[in-house]
Chains A and B, each alone.
Chain A
Amino acid sequence: GQQLNQSPQSMFIQEGEDVSMNCTSSSIFNTWLWYKQDPGEGPVLLIALYKAGELTSNGRLTAQFGITRKDSFLNISASIPSDVGIYFCAGRSYNTDKLIFGTGTRLQVFP
């Protein structure tokens, strides 16, 4: 099925560094969601975005709904070991009632 382009595929960073990942779509979206998945568990919602240009924070996490409606990014500031996991973006375009998921960004944080 259709998937979003999510990058990078993986990141290996040192504790305390900032992280940035993004998703792009070929079609206009009216919803962007960011999830985190720990090994062997279901994805947990981090941030939901519903308006173009919207910038939302959740603790050290910040996500933005791109002005073009075709992209979104997630930033994590001052990373800590518990940030390790796979981060997924998800979105819905106007012509469908289903979410489309990105391929995920695997984050590793080294002390």
Chain B
Amino acid sequence: SQTIHQWPATLVQPVGSPLSLECTVEGTSNPNLYWYRQAAGRGLQLLFYSIGIDQISSEVPQNLSASRPQDRQFILSSKKLLLSDSGFYLCAWSWRDTSTDTQYFGPGTRLTVL
């Protein structure tokens, strides 16, 4: 079976500090990978999605970036965090086969920028 992991689970960072959130998927190959942000009490905002290594699309201009150094690893980064970067960050995966769109989410990372 497939599993998706995110770490850390929670993070408190000062404004201006760097960020690195990691997501890994097990039990599948060549997944599509996604990063979402969820503000408190709000819906999901797609930040990045990737259909393969070094194939990453950005949905929202911002000070965040994403990388996919390995097939099942997706990393969300920032060089300098802003207060507005606080939120709940969710990684998700889906099958490469486009006949099914179902996305499966990780447990999330709660980021607080002070």
Q: Do A and B bind each other?
A: yes
Q: Mark A75-111, 1 if CB is under 8 A from B, else 0.
A: 0000000000000101010000111011110000000
Known: A42-B105, A98-B59, A103-B42. 11 other contacts (CB 8 A): A1-B45, A1-B59, A3-B43, A31-B101, A42-B6, A42-B106, A43-B105, A48-B102, A90-B103, A92-B101, A99-B46
Within 8 A of A (CB), among B30-64: 42-46, 49, 59-60
If A1-B59, A43-B90 touch, whether A99 touches B101 (CB-CB below 8 Å) is: yes
Give the top 4 A-B pairs by smallest Cβ distance, nearest first. A42-B105, A101-B44, A31-B101, A103-B43
Q: Which of A34-78 contact B (CB under 8 A)?
A: 35, 40-45, 48, 50
Is the CB–CB distance between B43 and A104 below 8 Å? yes
**Residues of A contacting B59 with CB < 8 Å?**
1, 98
Pick from A33, A41, A50: contact of B108, CB under 8 Å: A41
- For residue B100, give the distance in angstroms from its CB to the closest CB of chain A: 8
Residues from chain A with a CB closer than 8 A to the CB of B98 are: 97
Number of A-B contacts (CB under 8 A): 50
Closest Cβ of chain B: how far from A32's Cβ, in Å? 9
Contacts of A41 in B (CB 8 A): 107-108
Against A, the Cβ 8 Å flags (1 = close, 0 = not) of B89-106 are 010100000101111111
Most-contacted residue by chain A among B6, B108, B110 (CB, 10 A): B108
B: contact size bracket = 20 to 34
Chain A: how many interface residues by the 8 Å CB criterion?
Answer: 23
Structural contact, A45 and B46, CB atoms closer than 8 A:
no
A42 to B45 Cα, complex, angstroms: 14
Smallest CB gap from A106: residue in B: B41
Complex contacts, A1 vs chain B, CB 8 Å? 45-46, 59-60
Contact across chains for A88 and B90 when beta carbons are under 8 A apart: no
A31 to B102: give the CA distance in the assembly, Å: 9
B110 contacts across to A, CB distance below 8 A? 40
Closest chain B CB from A105 CB (angstroms): 11
B contact residues around A35 at 8 Å (CB): 105
B46: A residues at CB distance < 8 A: 1, 98-99
A-B contact pairs, 11 of them (CB 8 A): A3-B43, A33-B101, A40-B88, A40-B110, A42-B6, A42-B90, A42-B107, A44-B105, A48-B102, A99-B101, A102-B43
